[in-house]
């Protein structure tokens, strides 16, 4: 079977801080090399797309030597960290921007939803934009008209369909944009993380529609998301991008496992020296440990047991008191989806940091999580700024335990909560 998309040696280079080549001298040098049949000299200057390192180069590769094929009816999940090149890849596939080198072969029409409002004219009404998008896809008025009621109904924007799109909320715009892209029958549907703007009900509806499009209609879907649950549910194959390069491709479960394993590798580094963090740096989280009931450091805890997360904060600006601070810890699955959050804000308390190092503890009397592997996200903020934000602080395991003390153990839930019941009649 012939691939519906074939990507060969695809690369995309950007000049940092400027648009275009920058100088006449560089333009002439590029032209001189081209008439001699030589490679563009500026392509050799580019570096990998690694946000954690500094460079003196004016050029960076957003994507480098990407190769993959997508078969008809396949649902491909594109995953990776922020800045890995996912959105750039989808923009090139959707012909929003062109590649620097390489080629793409298509065997069908492409409908895409990359950003809120993509392909919409703000002065036109929702109805007019549906016809505009259909015309761009090469459809006739009669073809669009036959799908019009279905698109409007799916979007839930019927009351506002004759209102200019510039007056729509971001959620309404995404609803209509997805409805148009999914119902105008492109052979290839490209959807970026933009669905996260919609509410939970619409996200569920959109995932169901993409499943129908691929399974029933046999159309191809390329889907970018940070929500691994959605990726796992929808996609059959995956593409893992890292620093603009393909790190792994193949079965979606194996690709997700590789992505999660890469996140686990971070926690082996000394927390104080890690550079993959954001914030103004006035205070840093330099140590974070899990302690069991005995007070000893541990990496595993049983469901229902008491446990403590201890955090050490280091003041980077000496002799400056930092007041009105909130410290939050998110307990997440390995994909980064938040399950629980601990915060002094929830308890109505703010913290003043006066010492060079400050140690705080969060205590949970009974761990409510089911067996599995979890990670911690930690961040500090004042009323205005993020002081420190770091993902995957450490990984810990939750073992099977009797949360309720009843001898009944349920492994089908994500977490438990105290409750009671009574018979009233």
pTM: 0.63
- Domain limits, the chain: 5-108+187-262, 271-399
Residues sharing a CB contact under 8 Å with residue 186, sequence separation 6 or more, in sequence order? 108, 109, 110, 111, 137, 219
Answer whether CATH 2.70.50.60 is correct for domain 271-399.
yes
Name residues of the chain where pLDDT drops below 50.
18, 45-46
Helix axes 126-136 and 170-183, enclosed angle (nearest 10): 40
pLDDT digits (tens, 9 = 90+) for 138-160: 778 898 899 899 999 988 888 99
Q: Which residues contact 53 (CB under 8 A, 6 or more apart)?
A: none
Q: What is the dihedral of CA 26, 29, 34, 36, to 10 degrees?
A: -170
Please state, in angstroms and rounded to a whole number, the distance separating the CA atoms of residues 108 and 92: 15
Neighbour-count burial for 215-251, b at 16+ CB within 10 Å, e otherwise: eeeebbbbbbbbbbebbeebbbbbbbbbbbbbbbbee
Alpha-carbon dihedral sign for residues 362, 365, 368, 369:
positive
pLDDT digits (tens, 9 = 90+) for 366-385: 888 888 888 899 999 988 88
Instruction: Tell me the two tokens of residue 394.
Output: 């450490």
According to CATH, the superfamily of the domain at 5-108+187-262 is: P-loop containing nucleotide triphosphate hydrolases (3.40.50.300)
Query: Quick count: other Cβ atoms within 10 Å of Cβ 255?
Result: 24
Measured distance CA(397)–CA(302) in Å, rounded: 8
From the number of C-beta atoms within 10 Å of its C-beta (0-12, 13-18, 19+), residue 148 rates as middle
Q: How many CA atoms lie within 13 A of 205 on its CB side?
A: 15
- Token digits for 9? 């040696």
User: 254 is written with which tokens?
Assistant: 């194996």
Q: How far apart are CA 341 and CA 330, in angstroms?
A: 4
Question: Which residues, in sequence order, are CB contacts of 237 under 8 Å at separation 6+?
Answer: 74, 75, 76, 77, 249, 250, 251, 252, 255
């Amino acid at each position: 079977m012939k691939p519906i998309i074939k990507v060969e040696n695809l690369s995309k280079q950007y000049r940092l801080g400027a648009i275009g080549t920058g100088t006449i001298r560089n333009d002439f040098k590029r032209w001189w090399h081209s008439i001699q049949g030589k490679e563009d000299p500026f392509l050799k200057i580019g570096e990998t797309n690694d946000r954690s390192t500094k460079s003196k180069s004016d050029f960076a590769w957003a994507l480098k030597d990407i190769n993959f094929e997508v078969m008809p009816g396949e649902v491909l999940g594109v995953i990776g960290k922020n800045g890995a090149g996912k959105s750039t890849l989808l923009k090139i596939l959707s012909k929003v921007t062109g590649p620097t080198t390489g080629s793409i072969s298509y065997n069908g029409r492409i409908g895409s939803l990359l950003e809120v409002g993509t392909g919409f004219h703000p002065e036109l009404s929702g109805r007019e934009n549906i016809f505009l998008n259909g015309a761009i896809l090469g459809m006739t008025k009669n073809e669009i008209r036959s799908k019009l009621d279905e698109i409007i109904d799916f979007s839930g924007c019927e009351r506002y369909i004759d209102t200019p799109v510039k007056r729509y909320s971001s959620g309404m715009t995404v609803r209509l944009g997805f409805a148009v892209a999914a119902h105008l029958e492109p052979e290839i549907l490209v959807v970026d993380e933009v669905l996260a703007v919609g509410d939970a009900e619409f996200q569920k509806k959109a995932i169901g529609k993409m499943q129908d499009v691929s399974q029933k209609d046999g159309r191809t879907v390329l889907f970018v998301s940070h929500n691994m649950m959605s990726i796992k549910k929808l996609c059959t194959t995956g593409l893992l991008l890292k620093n603009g390069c393909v790190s792994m491709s193949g079965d979606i479960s194996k690709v997700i496992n590789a992505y999660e394993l890469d996140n686990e590798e971070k926690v082996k580094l000394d927390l104080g020296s890690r550079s993959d963090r954001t914030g103004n740096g006035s205070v840093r989280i330099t140590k974070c440990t899990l302690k069991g009931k005995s007070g000893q450091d541990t990496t595993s805890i049983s469901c229902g047991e008491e446990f403590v997360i201890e955090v050490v904060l280091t003041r980077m600006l000496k002799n400056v008191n930092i007041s009105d601070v909130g410290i939050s810890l998110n307990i997440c699955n390995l994909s980064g989806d938040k399950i629980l959050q601990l915060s002094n804000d929830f308890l109505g308390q703010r913290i003043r940091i006066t010492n060079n190092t400050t140690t705080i503890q969060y205590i949970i009397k009974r761990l409510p999580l089911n067996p599995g592997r979890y990670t911690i996200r930690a961040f500090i903020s004042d009323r205005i700024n993020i002081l420190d934000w770091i993902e995957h602080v450490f990984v810990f395991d939750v073992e099977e335990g009797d949360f309720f003390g009843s001898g009944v153990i349920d492994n089908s839930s994500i977490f438990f909560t105290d409750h009671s019941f009574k018979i009233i009649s």
